[in-house]
Structure 1
Amino acid sequence: MSADVVIGQRDFTNLSTGTTQSTLSGGVQNSIIVNGKLIIADQANSRVLIWNSIPTTNGVSADIVVGQPDFTSSTANNGGISARTFDNPTTVISDGQKLLVSDRQNRRVLIWNNIPSINFAPADVVVGQPGFTTITSNTTQNGLNRPEAVFTHAGKLYIADSTNNRVLIYNSIPTTNQAPADVVVGQVDFTTGTENTGGIGPNTLKYPTAVATNGNKFIITDSENHRVLIWNSIPTTNGVSANVVVGQPNFTSSIANQGGSVAPNTLSSPIGATVDEKGRLYIGDANHRILIFNSIPSSSNTSADIVLGQPDFVSNTANNGGRSANSLNLPIFATPYEQKLFVADAVNRRLLIFNNVVSPPVIGLRSSPEAAGDGRLRMRGNVRLGEWGRYSLSSSKIEVSVNGGGWGEVSSLYGLREDTHDNLYEFYQEFDPHTGGVSSGDDYTLKFHAFSSNADESYSFYFTPFEIKSITSGVFPSFSFKVNKDQFSRVSDNLSEYEVQVRKITSTGTSISSSSTSGATTYGEWTTYLDNIPVNLSSSLNQGSLATTFDEVNGTITTRSKVKSLTAGKYQVKLVAVDDWGGRQETPTLSFSTTGGVTSTVVRPSYPITSGFFPLQINGIRGITSGIISTLIYLSTSPIYFSSTQTPSLTGIAFSGSEVSLTATNKNNSKQFKTYTAKVNSNSTYTLTPSLYPQSIIDMWVTDKDGRYNELPPFEVRVLE
């Protein structure tokens, strides 16, 4: 696999050694991407470089330098140790707003409250030292000794305090100097710093160099024990033992490459470890390679799935085949971001950018099936995988499920071929649209899925699951319905309109006796009650669902002349989604009664996610002056509120016994979010106290044991500094 862009060199074969605006030192450590900015720890130049956008061509110059007064200086602690200087910074990390740097030789971690926008900007907080001008090695609760790595997730701070052979956990990012840690891993207390204290085991460390977590699993690179340790949960007490070891057969072994040849399950002085949003684990291995595990290992001595920097899992030559776009020489960290992978290639003095390295397979389907004879249909499609053939389909190939039945492999048309630099698999599936007792050819659902060799999965539906959320009564009934946008193919951007159709129940089956079958229920013809309902596609396509509500009183269509007057009786109703090609998808039917005219009294069905009146309301937010936010009030725009505290209390009402959930998402980094839940008490009130980001997008919803659901419109809360 070859990189697409190189930073720090003019091309993939060059090795420049100067200190300039576009070069890197032989100790380039890691990189992060924050709000579109690329930030690199340039260790041996004692600086951090910032690009205001991710470079797309080779050798692009940085925009900002931190730790030095200009782009040509590289002196450690230039002008004397201070809040502005570094001595061998090893890692950078951010929570979306703050910048944190492990300043290894100065035995400290520096924190900027905002990403620097000018050269030589001073830090705001120091961890590990009482002030910005001291350098002391300490084995204490608030001291550090050559910290190699810093990491943050969900408000916690993690520091690999390497020479103290431990990792420190802070329950929140410090805002004052020399703040004490809350938990220590690798030692039984805060005053012990020996390597493998008491003998190597699942709770000891020898020069840890990286920390990572996805919020559940906790990962430490135990470099000089030639292993990576994994905890099934984030430790909350000192000296907790790991659950899984990678790179060794057990917790008491510590030999490089397990004493033998390099293999997919061995490590030699691993340095970096990162986890992406799909749960893939990336390890920087001194065998001059990056190992990728398609999921965080749950058992010890697990083998990697993919290797970068070597042609296979049994090679470990530096710059194998010569310095190039696919060679490595002591890679430190691999940082995944969206569909890119950033690899710090230390000795080659460069950062490599791989495009589309984690892109999922894309399933494409024909607009409509074709006749295959004997009442069967044939659906044709294809799967595209990664530019320039980086990945292949896994052994499961492509599978299909018809009408919710079991999975079966599809048939290949031509096998693999290359098309516009992609791996392209073309396939077809013949099926009976009446499978599973379906009585109409329009009601079938095909669900395709495919796995690629990097464990990415893609799903595609020919017809989208589509359901009624609620029906409310009134002079003009309101229908709320949704399309699951994470399960669509054709019913998506080309969705044209919605329709409401009704039919009368003309007779109801009656049971003659307990041993006899019920008589058949008969129905009138389906008729269009309302059509041309506009489609609201304003929500992001990345959201899990799109809720579209059409209220005939407040809607944009004059409905009085369009709605049919119904005679008294019982009816069935269904909603129909229609796309630009004439494809139709229908919801299951629901029953209701009317006394005539257009005033309906709804018979509450058991099927809908939402049935009738099921409110959620915020009555007040401590620290915020605001009005009521309610499911009962229409908001034309997403409101913005300002809070005087980072942890406001939200109080409101919902049905007793239900559960209210809140997710706060960092507006500046959508991958960062926190979720809180609260039970509604007997007097129908609840309280939630979230910890907010400086700018948080708030989503709230309510559910109960009967499956009812409602949600508030999203709103923004900004914390005042």
Structure 2
Amino acid sequence: MAFRILSLAISFFFVLISCGQPEIANPCDLNSKAFFRNLILKNFAGDSSAYCKVDLSFSLSGTIFGLTTSGMVLKTITGTEVSIPAGSTRFSIPISLGVGARYTLSISSQPETIVCLVHTGWEGVVPNGISDIKIVCHSTVAKRVYGQSGSFISNGFGLSADFLYTPYQALADGNGLFVSDFGNNRVLYYPGTGTTASFVYGQLDFSSALVGTSTTEINRPRGLIKDKQGLYITDANNNRALYFEGTNSFSTRVYGQLDFVSAAPNQGGATASNTLATPYGMTRDANGLYIVDQGNNRVLYYNDGSILPTRVYGQNDFLSNNTGSTATSLVSPEGVSVSSEGVYIADTGNNRVLFYLGTSTIATRVYGQPDFVSNVANNGTIGSGTLNSPKAVLAFGGDLWIVDSFNNRVLLFSGTSTTASKVFGQNGSFVSSTSNATATTFFQPQGISVDQDGIYIVDTDNNRVLVF
């Protein structure tokens, strides 16, 4: 075995030095057999750098849907910017990177009256996946409404398969929509683009709103996230999170409590690694689950297969629940999202959103405040870089969405900019915060989700979900 490894190492060494030998076939030639043989050896050796460090010209290309009103500007990881005119349905941008290098594509300048998102292929590895990128442009006027029987100007609440009562979060999974109907103590599922729910979690039927603590009952649900096997729900007033396998209406796993009948915050005692207090938002990465433990001023990360967290944001340990305004502290957080770059947390009580690089628990970027110690709402004056009680956050397509609840708006931040490039809910104005019930306005929105069909914004105090 040792001889085989040594042999491969020697072979890999000669692969590397052969890249610089002009008298033999160039193994960096994409058309040569040597290229593929040597690329395999490189991967076997655990080398993730660009192959042979040779710059090769490729094109990031794909399709565009709905770029109708004005053009936009696309930007690659190398800094190249290309203007795409209105009416374009395809694009192709040259990019010079070594084979195996990571690429990203972002929209650095949005169209004037619509918003465009890179729905698929915004990041990847050269040359795989760089020819099927999909950009979809959405109107800032809602095209569909849930909870109001099709009306964009009503905001009543009710208890049926067609109504909602202070919904908190939405989760679009490409096949339908889940909504945590907070005031009715249930989670509804809407198939396809239908606005009448076909399935309910937490209640026996669509006309009940009871509370309880069992495998089938919910008391004020908030956060939602899915994996390939089922649905996770934060059961806020029962101080727990539940997991529902498949399409079962009964839960098979509980976080934050020792059993399915207990409901006391922190299990009736002090903060610990196995407790929760009014959990809010949640999300997942490839390996585990994030739960916003709002009452303990922290966010917990659980590896798959475990109900005990392995990482904590906002506290120095699993036994503390302190507050503060620093790069390592949180006050009443409510939302969390992850990207390939790191973790975003809506630090609601500090009127900001924090970004944590990789798995670090020390924030390196702040949205809504000029520094890591300021926490005044709107930093004194509302604008495109301020926040007032942000409730939810969503990393999508290389961009960041923040639900800026008390400003009655949702902001889009392009790339890593901390100044918003688009605003929903205020008819294009970054300095107004009015509330209303129309196809373009909100009243204290709380949640957001995105799929190929649209942008879903939970307009909580209007008792509805709007789709753009």
Bucket of the pairwise TM-score, normalised by the shorter protein: 0.5 to 0.7
Q: Which residue of 2 aligns with 1:74?
A: 155
* Local SS of the residue matching 1:75: coil
Q: What TM-score, normalized to structure 2?
A: 0.59
- Amino acid of the residue matched to residue 223 of structure 1? Q
Structure 2: gaps spanning 5 or more residues: 1-116, 121-135, 422-450, 454-468
Q: Matches of 1:354 and 1:251 in 2, distance apart? A: 32
Using CA pairs below 8 Å that are at least 6 residues apart, which structure has the higher relative contact order?
Answer: 2
Find the aligned partners of 1:234 and 1:148 in 2 and give their Cα distance.
22
Match of 2:261 in 1: 191
Q: Count how many residue pairs are aligned between Structure 1 and Structure 2.
A: 291
Shift of 1:35: 7.2
* Percentage of matched positions with identical amino acids: 33
- Residue pair 2:413, 2:420 contacting (<8 A) in 1 also: no
Q: Deviations over 1:591-614 (max 9, x none)?
A: xxxxxxxxxxxxxxxxxxxxxxxx
Residue 233 of structure 1: how far off its partner (Å): 2.6
* Cα separation, 1, equivalents of 2:384 and 2:229: 37
Note if 1:140 corresponds to 2:210.
no
Write the distance in 2 (CA, Å) between the matches of 1:387 and 1:256. Answer: 27
Q: 293, 296, 317: which one pairs with 1:250?
A: 317
Are residues 165 and 387 of structure 1, via their aligned partners in 2, closer, same or farther at CA, if it must alter by over 3 Å?
A: closer
Give the Å deviation of 1:132: 0.1
Whole-Å separation in 2 of the counterparts to 1:128 and 1:153: 19
Alpha-carbon distance between aligned partners in 2 of 1:152 and 1:279, rounded to the nearest angstrom: 21
The match for 1:99 among 156, 177, 202 is 177
| 1:157 equivalent in structure 2 | 231
**1:73 & 1:132 partners in 2: Cα distance?**
21
1:146-295 alignment, distance < 5 Å: 146-174=220-248, 179-197=249-267, 198-235=269-306, 240-257=307-324, 262-276=325-339, 278-286=340-348, 287-295=350-358
Instruction: For 1:254, give the aligned amino acid.
Output: N
Instruction: Please state which structure has a larger fraction of its residues in strand.
Output: 1
**In structure 2, C-alpha distance between the alignment counterparts of 1:100 and 1:333, rounded to whole Å:** 16
Q: Secondary structure at the match of 2:263?
A: coil
Question: Which of 67, 83, 91 is the matching residue for 2:161?
Answer: 83
Q: Distance in 1 between matches of 2:229 and 2:386?
A: 36
3-state SS in 2 of match to 1:229: strand
Q: What pairs up with 1:122-137 in 2 under 5 angstroms?
A: 122-137=196-211
Aligned AA for 2:186? Answer: R
Counterpart amino acid of residue 302 in structure 2: W
Q: Which amino acid aligns with 2:343?
A: L
C-alpha distance in 2 between matches for 1:102 and 1:209: 11
For residues 670-708 of structure 1, the C-alpha deviation after alignment (integer angstroms, 9 at most, x for no partner) is xxxxxxxxxxxxxxxxxxxxxxxxxxxxxxxxxxxxxxx
CA distance in 2, matches of 1:84, 1:271: 27
**1:154 Cα deviation (Å)?**
2.2
Once the two structures are TM-superposed, the CA of residue 34 in structure 1 deviates from its matched residue by 11
State the Cα distance separating 1:199 from its structure 2 match: 2.8
Post-superposition CA distance 1:59-117 (Å, at most 9, x none): x321111100211111121xxx100110000000022112100000100000012133x
| Structure 1 Cα separation of the partners of residues 266 and 197 of structure 2 | 34
CA RMSD of aligned residues (A): 2.6
CA contact (8 A) 1:280 1:292 kept: yes
Tell me the TM-score normalised to structure 1 length.
Answer: 0.39
Which residues in structure 2 correspond to 1:682-697 (within 5 Å)? Answer: none
Tell me, in whole angstroms, the C-alpha distance in 2 between the residues paired with 1:279 and 1:106: 36
Deviation at 1:137, TM superposition (A): 0.3
Letter matched to residue 190 of structure 2: W
Within 1, Cα distance between the matches of 2:403 and 2:310? 29
Higher helix share: 2
Q: How much does 1:279 deviate? A: 4.6
Q: CA deviation at 1:226?
A: 0.5
Residue pair 1:214, 1:279 contacting (<8 A) in 2 also? no
Instruction: Decide whether the 8 Å contact of 2:385 with 2:420 is kept in 1.
Output: no
The CA distance in 2 between the partners of 1:209 and 1:170, in whole Å, is 17
Structure 1 position 241, deviation (Å): 1.9
Counterpart Cα distance in 2 of 1:110 and 1:145 = 14
Tell me if the contact between 2:384 and 2:420 (Cα under 8 Å) persists in the aligned partners. Answer: no
Q: SS at 2:391's partner residue? A: strand
1:63 corresponds to 2:143: yes
Deviation of the 1:668 alpha carbon: 6.3
Question: Equivalent residues in 2 for 1:610-649 (5 A)?
Answer: none
Give the CA deviation at 1:293: 0.9
Where structure 1 has 5 or more consecutive residues not aligned to the other structure, the ranges are 1-32, 37-52, 360-385, 389-666, 670-721
Deviations 1:264-306 (A, max 9, x none): 0000000001112x05111000200000111134xxxx21111
| 1:270 alignment partner AA | P
Q: Secondary structure at the match of 2:295?
A: helix
Distance 1:35 1:316 in 2: 33
Change (3 A) 1:328 1:234: farther
Alignment match, 1:537: none
Following the alignment from structure 1 to structure 2, what is the Cα–Cα distance between the partners of residues 96 and 182?
24
Distance change in 2, residues 1:35/1:138 (3 Å): farther
Q: Which has the higher Rg, Structure 1 or Structure 2?
A: 1
In the alignment, the residues of structure 2 paired with residue 68 and residue 342 of structure 1 have an alpha-carbon distance, to the nearest angstrom, of 25
**Matched letter for residue 250 of structure 1:** D
